[in-house]
Amino acid sequence: MIPVSLDDLPLRQSARIAAINWSALSPADGKRLRELGFGEGVAIQPLHRAPFGRDPIACKVGRMTIAVRRAHACAIEVEVSET
Amino acid sequence: MTGIPLVALVGNPNAGKSALFNALTGARQKIGNYPGVTVERHAGRLALADGRPVELIDLPGAYSLDPSSPDEEVTRDVVTGAQQGERLPDALVVVIDAANLENHLRFTLQLIALGLPIVVALNMVDLATRDGLELDPDTLARELGVPVVPTVAVRRRGIEELKEAIDGSVTGANIRAIDPGRGDGDEYDTLLNTERARTIARRTIVSETPSRRLNQRIDSVALHPLFGPLLLAGLLFVMFQAVFAWSEAPVGWIEAGQGWLTATADNLLPEGYFRSFIIDGVINGVGSVVVFLPQILILFFFILLLEATGYMTRAAFLMDRLMARFGLSGASFIPLLSSFACAIPGIMATRTIADPKDRLTTILIAPLMTCSARLPVYAIIIAAFIPNSSVGPGIGLQGLVLFGLYISGIVGAMIAALVLRRTVAKGAAASFIMEMPKYQLPLLRDLALGLWQRAWIFLKRAGTIIFVTTIVLWGLLSFPQAPEDSPLSQTEYSIAGRVADGLHVVMAPIGFNEEISLALIPAMAAREVAVSALATTYSIDESDEEQAEQSLTQQLQGQWSLPTALAFLAWFVFAPQCLSTIAVTRRETNSWRWPAFMLAYLFALAYLAAGITYWTAVGFGL
């Protein structure tokens, strides 16, 4: 299975976070993402993209809906779940 | 205050803390400020089953004890006993969203590690059930070693049980079980906490079925690439429409009351200084400001409603990309929208913006949003100078001009943001990471309480700052009294008139007359005072009865040219005429540098805009 970035994941496709490239994120952004439950192995599903440039992206992370910018999504690598 | 136990409500943002606070304390609340910062301190009394009082404080929402904003800093400092002006709480009530266990438990574990007596309120259990989640509170209590009470704050469920548990923790009846699962390691270690939070959440969840997608169904419309922005535009349109349409009747009642008071005072009081003071100073001065209370409340009602339902973060999501063009983010949208009601809560709402440069820019442009205090000024000038004609089906010229003034403010703000982000607030591009809470039907009582608090703050302002400035102005205008044979009018002869003379030298090139120069001085206290100042000025000059019957509108029509009126409007789009805003900026930025900068750049803009408007209008022969 080839890992893809969250930004390339089609809407409504369920996946798991495979890796997060923390060095590509500012320390403040990395901290906030961690606090909101982003981490390896967490279930994630992009749900909506905003108009004007398909940015930001609203994702279901665990049981929360969290909006991130495409720049963050590019640093998040996901694996598509088998189910 | 000593002797009464102090209990603090803590929790993640969106855990329903404020609703729980309202449920526990009812309307007996006191809003103040923590010393040195503008973080609001919400305190209230709650009565235990046997009537003993407990003081409850509602701390700002936080994600961890490692603060990223001034708000979170206060939360950390209070629970660790480091906050100036606040004693260490005797117990904490940790509020967690039942549907968000894993995430909220991480912060809960940090708080438990502090060692204070703790009660956990497992809030919004109804939404969790709606979401297909079945939880076992007893397991959670065992795992955490603290009492856990399931609650539904907005429906006032579980409140009595929670009070009982609070009683137990402040009297020391709850013996804390020592948690064997945690050693002496670093309690703040995020990874370790995450691991434990995950384990506890897994054990607490009895069953989990795929969620009933009510939330997602709403979002599929609200966040739709086409319908989403349309819905947002529609909501904003309805909101501003309502501000004018719904306020007509209540404004009429207030004006009628004011008229009755004036007539009564006129009959009861003997002619002289005292009557002039009561009628011109007190009744007309304060009345001309209180009359805008309905509009301010309608605007706040919509903003509170959008926030309480969870829609506000969706608006931020939709606006993010647009805001990014000007170097800001969707997070700035919420404070800027609030600034349409008043820049003060708007500037205070910027505390949720994590990036300091982003936050500074938002603070500096917030006064450019047309706040409700400008409405009185705009309304009176438009009524006097813009004909009430129609420019198309359902579109009046007056409404169009008002709309144009709002737009000028927004465009000015966006350009200012662009420039500020490249100069004084240079930094990395703004970021946007935001939790979007579940939609929720707010309790009318909570909305009413929020609205009442706003109304009270406004009336207090009208009763103090505005009252005092109006009276001082009346005094400055009435003394010294012009002699009978003086060629000068009373206004010109008075102290205020002489001060305005000096200011007029500067203001004349942009078309401002003496009366405007005069009104601008007290309007520094609050913009809306400009109206009462003009009213006071013209009413003091009234010599004969017939002229006194004229309304302020008619007075203005007779004495101002159209270019002057337009220049006056343009001035108020930009002028930083509100000392409270400057004061709040000083507190929020913690220096005099930024409020001074704000004053300078906004006055420069106002002067330029008014000048350009005046000379363009004169050039077109208006």
For residue B65, the domain's CATH number is: 3.40.50.300
Report which of B431, B415, B495 is spatially closest to residue B68, judged by C-alpha positions: B431
Q: Which of A36, A53, A58 sits opposite B223 (nearest CB)?
A: A58
Whose tokens are 């993402």? That residue is: A33
Cα torsion at A59, A61, A65, A68 (round to 10°)? -50
Q: Which of B68, B226, B324 sits opposite A28 (nearest CB)?
A: B68
* Neighbour order of strands in the sheet with A76-80: A4-5, A76-80, A15-20, A43-49, A57-61, A64-68, B434-436
Question: What's the average model confidence in pLDDT over B127-153?
Answer: 89
The verdict on residue B607 lying in a domain is no
Query: Using the beta-carbon criterion (under 8 Å), do B433 and A34 form an inter-chain contact?
Result: no
Taking contacts as CB-CB distances below 8 angstroms, the residues of chain A near B102 are 37, 62-63
CA R_g for chain B = 28
Question: What's the average model confidence in pLDDT over B230-243?
Answer: 86
When pLDDT is cut at 50, 70 and 90, the band that residue B288 belongs to is: low
When pLDDT is cut at 50, 70 and 90, the band that residue B562 belongs to is: very high
How many A/B residue pairs have CB atoms within 8 Å? 104
Query: Using the beta-carbon criterion (under 8 Å), do B436 and A67 form an inter-chain contact?
Result: yes
Is the pLDDT at B492 greater than 70? The verdict is yes
The verdict on residue B391 lying in a domain is no
Of all residues in chain B, the one with the smallest CA distance to A38 is B103
Which of A44-58, B226-240, B399-413, B464-478 has the weakest average pLDDT?
Answer: B464-478
Distance CA B409, CA B401 (A): 13
Q: Which residues of B375-393 are buried (b: 16+ CB within 10 A; e: fewer)?
A: bbbbbbbbebbbeeeeeee
Is the pLDDT at B541 greater than 60? The verdict is yes
Query: Using the beta-carbon criterion (under 8 Å), do B318 and A34 form an inter-chain contact?
Result: no
Taking contacts as CB-CB distances below 8 angstroms, the residues of chain A near B228 are 50-51
The residues, any chain, with a CB within 8 Å of residue B100's CB and separated by 6 or more, are A62, A63, A64, B12, B15
Q: Where are the domains of chain A?
A: 4-80
Question: What's the average model confidence in pLDDT over B214-225?
Answer: 88
Query: Are the C-beta atoms of residues B20 and B52 closer than 8 Å to each other?
Result: no
Query: Using the beta-carbon criterion (under 8 Å), do B434 and A66 form an inter-chain contact?
Result: yes
Residue of A12, A36, A38, A52 to mutate, interface with B, max B Cβ within 10 Å:
A52
| pLDDT reported for residue B76 | 93
Which of B105-109, B520-524, B563-567 has the weakest average pLDDT?
Answer: B520-524
**What does B480-496 look like in DSSP terms, one character per residue?**
SPPPTT-SS-HHHHSHH
| pLDDT reported for residue B392 | 75
Distance CA B300, CA B337 (A): 10
Report which of B574, B577, B560 is spatially closest to residue B612, judged by C-alpha positions: B574
Whose tokens are 């006032």? That residue is: B156
Report which of B276, B351, B287 is spatially closest to residue B69, judged by C-alpha positions: B351
Distance CA B13, CA A80 (A): 30
Task: Express as a percent the part of chain B with pLDDT over 70.
Answer: 91
| pLDDT reported for residue B181 | 41
How far A16 CA sits from the closest chain B CA (Å)?
16
CA distances from B441 to B155, B222, B306, B504 (A): 10, 16, 11, 54
Which comes out higher in pLDDT, residue B419 or B428? B419
Whether the link from the prior residue into B480 is cis, omega within 30° of 0, is: yes
Cβ burial, residue B443 (10 Å; 0-12/13-18/19+): middle
The verdict on residue B595 lying in a domain is no
Query: Using the beta-carbon criterion (under 8 Å), do B321 and A55 form an inter-chain contact?
Result: yes
Amino acid at B83: Q
Longest Cα–Cα distance of chain A, Å, equals: 34
The residues, any chain, with a CB within 8 Å of residue B428's CB and separated by 6 or more, are A26, B355, B357
For chain B, how many structural domains are there in total? 1
pLDDT digits (tens, 9 = 90+) for B500-535: 888 889 999 999 988 888 888 878 767 877 887 788
Each as own residue / partner, the long-range contacts of residues B452-456 (CB below 8 Å, 24 or more positions apart, any chain) are: B452/B27, B453/B29, B453/B31, B454/B296, B454/B297, B454/B300, B455/B293, B455/B296, B455/B297
Question: What's the average model confidence in pLDDT over B297-324?
Answer: 89
The verdict on residue B353 lying in a domain is no
Q: Is B44 helix (H, G, I), strand (E, B) or coil?
A: strand
Is the pLDDT at B547 greater than 50? The verdict is yes
* Interface predicted TM-score (ipTM): 0.94
Which comes out higher in pLDDT, residue B465 or A69? A69
How far B249 CA sits from the closest chain A CA (Å)?
39
Whether the link from the prior residue into A56 is cis, omega within 30° of 0, is: yes
State if pTM tops 0.90. no
Taking contacts as CB-CB distances below 8 angstroms, the residues of chain B near A68 are 432-433
How far A2 CA sits from the closest chain B CA (Å)?
27
Give the total residue count for chain A: 83
Query: Using the beta-carbon criterion (under 8 Å), do B330 and A67 form an inter-chain contact?
Result: yes
Strands B205-208 and B133-135: antiparallel
pLDDT digits (tens, 9 = 90+) for B146-186: 999 999 988 888 999 999 999 988 876 554 544 434 444 44
Which comes out higher in pLDDT, residue B473 or B73? B73
How far A12 CA sits from the closest chain B CA (Å)?
11
Instruction: Give the pair of three-digit tokens for residue B520.
Output: 């601008």
Q: Is B95 helix (H, G, I), strand (E, B) or coil?
A: strand
Q: Which residues of B34-43 are buried (b: 16+ CB within 10 A; e: fewer)?
A: beebbbbbbb
First and final C-alpha spacing in chain A: 14
Domain of B67 in residue numbering reads as 6-208
Taking contacts as CB-CB distances below 8 angstroms, the residues of chain B near A44 are none
Report which of B136, B147, B150 is spatially closest to residue B174, judged by C-alpha positions: B147
Q: To which CATH superfamily is domain A4-80 assigned?
A: Ferrous iron transport protein A (FeoA) (2.30.30.90)
The verdict on residue B240 lying in a domain is no
Is the pLDDT at B493 greater than 50? The verdict is yes
| pLDDT reported for residue B34 | 60
- Enumerate residues 5 to 44 of chain A having a beta carbon within 8 A of any beta carbon in chain B: 26, 28-29, 31-37, 39
Report which of B62, B64, B111 is spatially closest to residue B91, judged by C-alpha positions: B111
Task: For residue B11, list its beta bridge partners.
Answer: B95
Query: Using the beta-carbon criterion (under 8 Å), do B433 and A66 form an inter-chain contact?
Result: yes
How far A1 CA sits from the closest chain B CA (Å)?
26
Distance of CA B461 to the CA centre of its chain: 14
Max mean pLDDT among B145-149, B267-271, B370-374 falls in B145-149
pLDDT digits (tens, 9 = 90+) for B582-609: 877 887 888 889 999 999 999 999 999 9
Distance CA B162, CA B157 (A): 9
Distance CA B278, CA B282 (A): 5
Is the pLDDT at B33 greater than 70? The verdict is no
Task: Express as a percent the part of chain B with pLDDT over 90.
Answer: 28
The residues, any chain, with a CB within 8 Å of residue B105's CB and separated by 6 or more, are B96, B196, B197, B200, B201
Of all residues in chain B, the one with the smallest CA distance to A32 is B433
Query: Using the beta-carbon criterion (under 8 Å), do A37 and B103 form an inter-chain contact?
Result: yes
| Number of Cβ atoms within 10 Å of the Cβ of B521 | 20
**Is residue A72 less than 8 Å (CB to CB) from chain B?**
yes
Distance CA B270, CA B259 (A): 18
Distance CA B491, CA B212 (A): 70
**Is residue B313 less than 8 Å (CB to CB) from chain A?**
yes
- Enumerate residues 340 to 379 of chain B having a beta carbon within 8 A of any beta carbon in chain A: 354-355
Question: What's the average model confidence in pLDDT over B381-404?
Answer: 83
Is the pLDDT at B318 greater than 80? The verdict is yes
Query: Using the beta-carbon criterion (under 8 Å), do B63 and A35 form an inter-chain contact?
Result: yes
Distance CA B37, CA B51 (A): 34
Is the pLDDT at B395 greater than 80? The verdict is no
pLDDT digits (tens, 9 = 90+) for B8-23: 999 998 888 888 998 8
The residues, any chain, with a CB within 8 Å of residue B463's CB and separated by 6 or more, are B286
Question: What's the average model confidence in pLDDT over A17-31?
Answer: 90
Distance CA B362, CA B522 (A): 27
Amino acid at B232: L
Distance CA B190, CA B187 (A): 8
When pLDDT is cut at 50, 70 and 90, the band that residue B56 belongs to is: very high
pLDDT digits (tens, 9 = 90+) for A32-53: 898 888 988 888 999 999 988 8
Of all residues in chain A, the one with the smallest CA distance to B102 is A37
Distance CA B505, CA B283 (A): 32
How far A64 CA sits from the closest chain B CA (Å)?
7
| pLDDT reported for residue B147 | 94
First and final C-alpha spacing in chain B: 65
- Mean pLDDT over all residues of chain B? 83
Q: Which of A28, A47, A64 sits opposite B219 (nearest CB)?
A: A47
The verdict on residue B155 lying in a domain is yes
Instruction: Give the pair of three-digit tokens for residue B526.
Output: 């609050």
Query: Using the beta-carbon criterion (under 8 Å), do B433 and A72 form an inter-chain contact?
Result: yes
Question: What's the average model confidence in pLDDT over B341-370?
Answer: 86
Of all residues in chain B, the one with the smallest CA distance to A30 is B433
| pLDDT reported for residue A17 | 93
**Is residue B187 less than 8 Å (CB to CB) from chain A?**
no
How far B100 CA sits from the closest chain A CA (Å)?
6
Angle at B562 between CA B560 and CA B564, to 5 degrees: 65
Strands B118-123 and B148-150: parallel
Cα torsion at B189, B192, B195, B201 (round to 10°)? -70
